[in-house]
A and B are shown apart, each in its own frame.
Chain A
């Protein structure tokens, strides 16, 4: 394609946008609404995913070592645990360290326990696959010198289920919206093609190729997609900033942390733009196809 042909296609596509102003507006609005949902969905989805992986990483088995165990017993227990094929790592944490962690998490009130530390020395066991946690924990509990074996798998399983359901429901909603937006865009383009039917007929008569005829319409869809993604991107940038700042100042719990502002907002914006461009171009592609004999 030659440069001046490209220029011509751009010019034509802009003219088309103006010619059917109201339909353009309707399509852009449809894309905007869809992409707003996409943006909100993406923020939730990515953060849910992060939470899930964080939690998955946090799935650890805490083996409380019996108080009467001596150093050699501990060593034996450690070797026994390590010898299990599903185990990734075994880490010793003394009860003093445990208390330090607790103080860090819960606050200085727990410093009181420093005088009489009620905690146990523990082995923190991580499995290669989080799914093996319950099996491994069950086995370890039968070993000698273990006082108690603690793991939070049940809670996490339930959480995963909730997250998954939420994800599936929003995916269905999103796909519905995408189709609606695509339908509206393809209708807008169809009206433009209709008003230019004669021009297209003549183009075909004098030997214009299908791609030559198609490009202005594809570009028109592209502009609709881009225009429709402006508000959602701004929305995501502002709203996520607010949420992020709220989490930074008000939520200290290290367990719940959302993705940092950059690069996440840029990634989401890029996805929104891409989705907008995709539904715009695909919508117009569908409607042009019906008018051209290909």
Chain B
């Protein structure tokens, strides 16, 4: 599903954020990416959805060699990858429904299909009754659920999340994680960068620890392993 071979990434300012990533993530896996701030977690994520190109090495996602993908082809890669962020990235001028539908509108889906599919995913994240509300009328957890709904509305094979619970209180965080578990059970691969020790240690999954641009640990059913 996701494969990185000898991936190096040096930013123009000289920072080396990836110093030889070698990793394979299979279909349907649930993977935590952990590590201290600035270790290269975000770069790892960005390399997958081709926000960044590696300086050296190969990144393959869904059989597409992302690292050499032409910029003009990137949109088509993104349609198969759902992305969730710490800051939700919702459009404040659009309703919950419109925010989710937006992802289908930009890929020119049929209006009838959009309506059906959007209500389906809103049902899944439990926000069907708030479809007409605006993001600022929702709590943080609800906003994050909207952004998750948007990330899966295209039925992507991979959902990657960069600190999805970073802005949320512990209880809400659990709701979000449970939602990811639910999505994972439908066969979707989840890659989640997180600082949340409690979640990593409770919901046991594969843990990839990154430090100083290197993968320092890769365990099935691993632990968080850092003092947070």
Interface residues, chain A, CB within 8 Å of chain B?
1-2, 4-5, 8, 198-199, 201-210, 212, 293-294
Contact = CB atoms under 8 A, between A and B. Distances in A.
A202 B107 contact: no
Given A2-B108, A5-B108, A198-B89, A204 B72 contact: no
Nearest to A201: B89
A1 B108 CA distance: 8
Interface stretch (B3-11, B75-83, B188-196, B207-215): B75-83
A293 B76 CA distance: 14
A212 B108 CA distance: 10
A258 to B, nearest CB: 51
A282 B158 CA distance: 38
A294 B72 contact: yes
Chain A binding site: helix, strand, loop or mixed by DSSP? helix
B102 interface: yes
B170 interface: no
Contact of B154 (A1, A2, A8, A207): A207
B71 A293 contact: yes
A206 B102 contact: yes
B72 A198 contact: no
B115 to A, nearest CB: 13
Contacts of B103: 206-207
Interface size grouping (class) on chain B: 20 to 34
B154 A206 contact: yes
Interface in B49-102: 49, 71-72, 74-79, 83, 89, 91, 102
A208 B76 CA distance: 8
B228 to A, nearest CB: 28
18 contacts: A5-B108, A8-B105, A202-B91, A202-B102, A204-B78, A205-B49, A206-B103, A206-B106, A206-B154, A207-B77, A207-B79, A208-B106, A209-B72, A210-B72, A212-B106, A212-B108, A293-B71, A294-B71
A215 B76 CA distance: 18
B8 to A, nearest CB: 20
B157 interface: no
A4 B104 CA distance: 13
B145 interface: no
Given A198-B89, A209-B75, A210-B71, 20 more contacts: A2-B108, A5-B108, A8-B105, A199-B91, A201-B89, A204-B75, A204-B78, A206-B79, A206-B107, A206-B150, A207-B106, A207-B154, A208-B75, A208-B106, A208-B107, A209-B72, A210-B75, A212-B106, A293-B71, A294-B72
A293 B102 CA distance: 21
Nearest to B85: A205
B54 to A, nearest CB: 15
Contacts of B150: 206
Contacts of A294: 71-72
B187 interface: no
A207 B108 CA distance: 11
Query: Which of A1, A8, A293 has the most CB atoms of chain B within a 10 A radius of its CB?
Result: A293
A209 B49 CA distance: 15
Nearest to B84: A205
A204 B76 CA distance: 10
Contacts of A1: 108
A205 B83 contact: yes
Nearest to A5: B108
Contacts of A210: 71-72, 75
A294 B49 CA distance: 16
B111 interface: yes
A205 B75 CA distance: 8
A210 B111 CA distance: 21
Given A198-B89, A198-B91, A203 B72 contact: no
Contacts of A293: 71, 74
Contacts of A199: 91
A120 B7 CA distance: 96
Q: Which one of A4, A5, A199, A208 has the greatest number of beta carbons of chain B within 10 Å? A: A208
Nearest to A2: B108
A288 B150 CA distance: 26
Most chain A CB atoms below 10 A, which of B49, B107, B108 = B108
Nearest to A202: B89
B194 to A, nearest CB: 19
A64 B107 CA distance: 81
